[in-house]
Structures are given as C-alpha cells and as structure tokens.
Amino acid sequence: MLRPSPDRAADDDPQRHRCGGCDLEHVTAAGQRRLKTRVVREQLERLGGLAAPPVDVCREVGPATGYRNRARFHVDDDGRLGFFLPGSHEVVPATTCRALAPGVQEVVEAIGTTSAAEVTVRAHGQHRAVVLAPGPGGLELPEGPFDLLLEQPDGSVVAMRGDGVLAEEVAGLRYRFDATSFFQNNTAGAEALVHHVLEAVGSPKTGGVDGALVWDLYAGVGLLSLPLARAGAEVVAVEGHEPAAAWASRNATDAGLDLEVAAEAVHRFLRAARRGEGPMDPPDVVVLDPPRTGAGQDVVDDLVALAPATIVYVACDPAALARDAKALVAGGYRLTAARPLDLFPLTHHVETVVTFAR
C-alpha cells in the first residue's frame, strides 16, 4: 500500500481484528456505507440494466459493534469456539469478535470448551439457546443458563434442556420462535426494516396501509406481517417453513391481530393464485423478503401476472436484487426507491428496501 484511502481505518483502530467474517473491518464506518451504496447502485445498473436508479445513501441503523444476536462457531483443536481466518481453516477464538451481541459472548464464555464440531448460539432479549452439531467422537453437554439442543443428521434439532423457544421485541410487538426458525440477526436492523417497509407500503403513492390487501411473501415468523396488520392492512403471510408459519400465526394471536397464514412454498402459493384457485382476491401490495438467492424468475413471472399495484422488495443480496429488478421492469414495473440499510457493519452485507410501482 503506497497511500491509504481517507476511508481506511487505522491499524490501531479497535475494530481491527483477524477474523475473516468482517471483511470490511479495515474501512471506516462512513466509508463502509459509501461502498455499500455504490455496490447497490452499480448492481442495479450493470446486472439490472437500470439507468440512474434512485438509490439513497446507505443508512446507519444501530451500533457498529455488539449487534449480532446469532452466530455459528467452529471449534478448534482445544475445544474453543471461534471463526476461521481469511482463506484458512485455522480457528480464531471468538473472544476477539466485536460484532457479537453481549448475550452471545456470555454464552460463549459459559461454554468455555466443547467436543462438538460446530456450535450455534442465539441470544434474543433474555432468552439464550445453543445448538450443538456433534463431532465424530463423544459429546459432553455443556452446563449453563441456556436452552440446549442437539442437531440431527437431517438438520432437525432435539431439545436436551429447555424447549429452545426464543423471544424478541421489535417495534412494540413480541415475537416468539424456535431455534430453527429465521429471525433477523440484528434487532436494531429488524426495527429499521419494519419502519422502512411500513413507510414504503403506506406512502401516498400506494394509497396507504389501512384497508390494503397485502401479501407478505417469505414471511418467517411474522416480522413484517404483524406491523402491517397493526397498521390496518389485511395481511396474508406466506411461509414455506412450517414451524415459522406456525409461530407467525401464534404471534399474531398473542398480539390480538387478525392474520391469515399460508404455510406453503411461495412459488406454489403464487402459481395457485395465478390459476385463480381459492377465494382470495389479488393483492394491492406484495411485500417479499426472499433468501439470499432472490425471488427468481418463476416467482417474478407470477407477480407480474398477478399485477399488484406496488411491490416492496426486501433484498439481502444486491446481485440477486438486480436480477429480479430487471425481470420486474421488463414485466411493466418501475423502480421508484431503493434504501440500503447497514444491518451488518464491518461486513460487505447490505439490506435494501426497494419499491416498485406498476
């Protein structure tokens, strides 16, 4: 390096460490957000084929450290939990990680060493759960103030201590879910997603939330469905992971909200709706939060055929977003707003809330 960028973090900056997970730890916080803004814009331009897409500057949503409430750890030869060095299978002890939430760090310290092959720790509010993946030898179960679950070869888990049910409060709503169900790894980030999705659905251009028929695709345990229902929308939550769908229904009931839940794969649900099967009316708005691979061509084709007036797309991968955006625009939609959110500081990952209008 001949001349450091003004955005380069100093070598003695507290955020600098050796783990390979935080691949932007050498960049200042402001510099990281500028980079993420540029990545979202360039992907929409190059892969999406959009000229001058309306991309906001990436927004800070919470603390840059101590935010990650879930982590999966490797185990070194001494039984300590940690992460791989970049491009290596050498494990760095997790005590050096500043991205982990205090609750996760407390569990790591309580476990100390283990004979497991991998360990997943989740800490939501006051609830703690540990999922152990057994190694080739025997497995000693660690003691500690946390629920303990054992991962099976088929990916399911068996509760060894406690029931593994976690709880988190976001935007004044309480969510419960089991240790196998997805929930945002950053609680402040989850709050930001709820805020920006509600803002996108409820803007004057869409006619507002109250009274709108909204389909929430890839709904999980109801993170977005419940606030939409509370705001007055008629919400259908679609989730293919049956345990998560069941929790979405329970969470709505606990909150006194009316929510219709379809425990069905999104592509099957949309294909049936496209064929006109069932009594369901076409939606005014579709909200979708697909996995990292994106929604894909089949789901986009079905959305275009169903022709909702507004689509609010929560993207966790800019390249997948750009591919889906290209297909939506080709199908008659216009990208009206893109808001990158820095849910995972120190890493290249960025969430983007994108609005499409028919």
Structure tokens that stand for 15 in this block: 């955020």
Alpha carbon distances (Å) from 68 to 20, 110, 183, 212, 353: 15, 18, 11, 34, 20
Residues with a catalytic annotation lie at: 316
Structure tokens that stand for 278 in this block: 């069932």
Strand 234-238 with 260-262, pairing:
parallel
Strand 127-133 with 310-315, pairing:
unpaired
Residues facing residue 340 across a β-bridge = 352
Residue 62 DSSP label: S
Report helix, strand or coil for 167. strand
CA angle 48, 49, 54 (to 5 degrees): 75
**What is the number of residues in the chain?**
358
Structure tokens that stand for 53 in this block: 């897409």
Residues facing residue 356 across a β-bridge = 311, 335
Alpha carbon distances (Å) from 327 to 23, 105, 306: 31, 43, 14
E strands in the chain: 59-60, 70-75, 81-84, 91-93, 118-124, 127-133, 147-151, 157-161, 165-170, 173-178, 213-217, 234-238, 260-262, 285-288, 310-315, 334-342, 351-357
Q: At a CB cut-off of 8 Å and minimum separation 6, what does 250 contact? A: 176
Structure tokens that stand for 65 in this block: 């450290």
Task: Give the Cβ contact number of residue 183 at 10 Å.
Answer: 23
Alpha carbon distances (Å) from 115 to 79, 156, 161: 6, 20, 18
